Amino acid sequence: MDKYVKVPMDGDVIKRLQAGDYVYLTGTIYTARDAAHKRIFDTMKNGGELPLDLDGTVIYYMGPSPAREGRVIGSAGPTTASRMDKYTPDFLDAGLKGMIGKGKRSEAVKEAMIRNRAVYFAAVGGAGALLSHTVKNSKVIAYADLGTEAVYELQVENFPVVVVIDSEGNDLYETAAERYRV
Amino acid sequence: MRIIQTSVITDHIKEMCIEANHFLAPDMEECLNRAEQTEKAPLGKKILGQLKENLQIAGEDMIPICQDTGMAVIFMEIGQEVHFEGGFLEDAVNEGVRRGYIEGYLRKSVVRDPLIRENTNDNTPAVIHYELTAGEQVRITVAPKGFGSENMSCVFMLKPADGIDGVKNAVLTAVREAGPNACPPMVVGVGIGGTFEKCALLAKKALTRPASERSPIPYIREMEDELLVSINKTGIGPGGLGGSSTAFAVNINTYPTHIAGLPVAVNICCHVNRHVVREI
pLDDT (tens, 9 = 90+) of chain B, 280 residues, equals 999 999 999 999 999 999 999 999 888 889 999 999 999 999 999 999 999 999 999 999 999 999 999 999 999 999 999 999 999 999 999 999 999 999 999 999 999 999 999 999 999 999 999 999 999 999 999 999 999 999 999 999 999 999 999 999 999 999 999 999 999 999 999 999 999 999 999 999 999 999 889 999 999 999 999 999 999 999 999 999 999 999 999 999 999 999 999 999 999 999 999 999 999 9
Q: Would an 8 Å CB–CB cutoff place A160 in contact with chain B? A: yes
Distance CA B254, CA B264 (A): 9
pLDDT, mean of residues A120-125: 97
CB nearest A128 (choices: B47, B66, B235) = B66
A-proximal residues of B, 47-106, CB under 8 Å: 47, 50-51, 53-55, 57-58, 61-69, 105-106
Answer whether B204's CB lies under 8 Å from B267's CB.
Answer: yes
pLDDT number for residue B27 = 86
Compare all CA atoms of chain B with the CA of A162 and give the residue at the minimum distance. B241
Of chain A, the percentage scoring pLDDT greater than 90 comes to 97
pLDDT number for residue B202 = 98
pLDDT number for residue B211 = 83
pLDDT number for residue B149 = 95
Q: Would an 8 Å CB–CB cutoff place A174 in contact with chain B? A: no
Give the mean pLDDT of chain B. Answer: 97
Answer whether A87's CB lies under 8 Å from A107's CB.
Answer: no
pLDDT at residue A1 above 80? no
ipTM above 0.90 for this complex: yes
pLDDT at residue A16 above 80? yes
pLDDT number for residue B26 = 87
SS3 A10: coil
Answer whether B83's CB lies under 8 Å from B1's CB.
Answer: yes
Exposed / middle / buried, residue B85 (Cβ in 10 Å: 0-12, 13-18, 19+): exposed
Alpha-carbon separation of residue A21 from A50, A99, A170 (angstroms): 32, 15, 12
How many residues are present in chain B? 280
pLDDT number for residue B212 = 84
Answer whether B80's CB lies under 8 Å from B138's CB.
Answer: no
Tens of pLDDT, residues B143-194: 999 999 999 999 999 999 999 999 999 999 999 999 999 999 999 999 999 9
Interchain CB distance below 8 Å, A130 and B50: yes
Residues of A in contact with B119 (CB under 8 A): 146-149
Answer whether B176's CB lies under 8 Å from B238's CB.
Answer: no
Interchain CB distance below 8 Å, A180 and B41: yes
CA nearest to A107, candidates A62, A174, A60:
A174
Compare all CA atoms of chain B with the CA of A171 and give the residue at the minimum distance. B241
Q: Would an 8 Å CB–CB cutoff place A79 in contact with chain B? A: yes
CA nearest to A31, candidates A132, A145, A152:
A152
Compare all CA atoms of chain B with the CA of A2 and give the residue at the minimum distance. B43
Q: How far is CA B219 from the centre of its chain?
A: 23
Residues of B in contact with A128 (CB under 8 A): 54, 63-68
pLDDT number for residue A88 = 98
Residues of A in contact with B68 (CB under 8 A): 63, 77, 79, 128
pLDDT number for residue A93 = 97
CB nearest A128 (choices: B53, B65, B240) = B65
Contacts of B113 (CB under 8 A, 6+ apart): none
Question: Does the pTM of the predicted model rise above 0.90?
Answer: yes
pLDDT number for residue B249 = 96
